[in-house]
Structure 1
Amino acid sequence: MSTPSQRLAELGITLPSVPAPAGSYIPARRSGSLVFTAGQVPLVDGKPAALGKVGAEISTDEAAGLARICALNALAAVDALVGIDAVAGVVKVVGFVASAPGFVEQPKVINGASDVLADVFGEAGKHARSAVGVAELPLGVPVEVELVVELAEP
């Protein structure tokens, strides 16, 4: 079985730089054998990859791609804190979707995050999850994702 960093390389994925916090918080925090990330939005080179509501300006498929970016930003925060290869598995994903009225495909959107985590971690990437529709998200972005990962025994 390859390590997460080897799997990222096999997939042609380079983790981005950790986005700077937009408030009074840190990108990730370790507590015992768990690492909790702050909610990560789809920033690319420090700028939102898209703005708007899913189901209006943003399609479900486009939003799933944005959720993937969020997950990779969260993994970058984990990597900066403890190293990606220290991760034994993904415990929980929480996804928030800025939803137009009547939009009900939040789980399909957050699949973008879940799928990339499964690609990187295999079976260890399977996780519990919440996908929540919300009225607004920071900066006007359509998606936000946070992770809880478990670290391998030293």
Structure 2
Amino acid sequence: MSTPSARLAQLGLSLPPVATPLAAYVPAIVSSGHVYTSGQLPSVAGELTYVGKVGAEVTPEQGAEAARTAMLNALAAAASLVGGLDQIGRIVKVTVFVASAPTFTGQPAVANGASELVAELFGDAGRHVRSAVGVSVLPLDAPVEVELTIEPAGVAW
């Protein structure tokens, strides 16, 4: 059976460096046996991949791609605290905020960009609960922001 890091490489992807916070917070924290990430934007090398509202300047497909990129950043933040991607035992919850044009209602499809990535990487351990929330604006005019809650490998209930 291949590992999440091997599946990531098979997809031609890699975890980016942990994004530098934009304000007074940390990228991720451990509490009560879980890792919680701060909201992660769809940035690559410090630059947003898209800007604007989904349903206006950003297409739903671009929004889903941005959610996938933001998820990579969230995974990087979580992995940095547990010893790497392969030490993530389960994806617990994903929250995707979608900066939406006033009439856009396709937030769940945009959030699938993040959800489908963790399903590809973690299989059944990537099945998670999720919220897809439409908002009027996000930091730096990003189209999406992703928060992640994970359970490290080896945690038993």
Q: 2:80 — aligned with what?
A: 80
Q: 1:117 — aligned with what?
A: 118
Q: 1:130 — aligned with what?
A: 131
Q: Any idea what the Cα deviations from partners look like across 1:40-92, whole Å, max 9, x if unmatched?
A: 00111101111100101111011000000000000111121112111111000
Q: Tell me how far apart the structure 2 counterparts of residues 2 and 137 of structure 1 sit (CA, whole Å).
A: 36
Q: Any idea what the Cα deviations from partners look like across 1:18-46, whole Å, max 9, x if unmatched?
A: 11000111101111321000000011110
Task: Give secondary structure in 2 for the equivalent of 1:17.
Answer: coil
Give the TM-score of the pair, scaled to structure 2. 0.95
Q: 2:48 — aligned with what?
A: 48
1:37 aligns with 2:37: yes
Q: 1:107 — aligned with what?
A: 108
Cα RMSD, aligned residues only: 1.0
Gaps of 5+ in 1: none
Letter in 1 for 2:125: A
Give the total of aligned pairs.
Answer: 154
Letter in 2 for 1:112: G
Letter in 1 for 2:123: G
Q: Tell me how far apart the structure 1 counterparts of residues 6 and 33 of structure 2 sit (CA, whole Å).
A: 22
Matches within 5 A, 1:10-29: 10-29=10-29
> Structure 1 residue runs of 4+, over 2 Å off?
none
Give the TM-score of the pair, scaled to structure 1. 0.96
Task: Give secondary structure in 1 for the equivalent of 2:154.
Answer: coil
Gaps of 5+ in 2: none
Q: Tell me how far apart the structure 2 counterparts of residues 85 and 25 of structure 1 sit (CA, whole Å).
A: 25
Q: Tell me how far apart the structure 2 counterparts of residues 101 and 45 of structure 1 sit (CA, whole Å).
A: 30
Task: Give secondary structure in 2 for the equivalent of 1:57.
Answer: coil
Q: Tell me how far apart the structure 2 counterparts of residues 119 and 68 of structure 1 sit (CA, whole Å).
A: 11
Query: Among the aligned pairs, what percent are the same residue?
Result: 55
Task: Give secondary structure in 2 for the equivalent of 1:30.
Answer: strand
Q: 1:94 — aligned with what?
A: 95
Q: 1:149 — aligned with what?
A: 150
Q: Tell me how far apart the structure 2 counterparts of residues 131 and 28 of structure 1 sit (CA, whole Å).
A: 20
Letter in 2 for 1:20: T
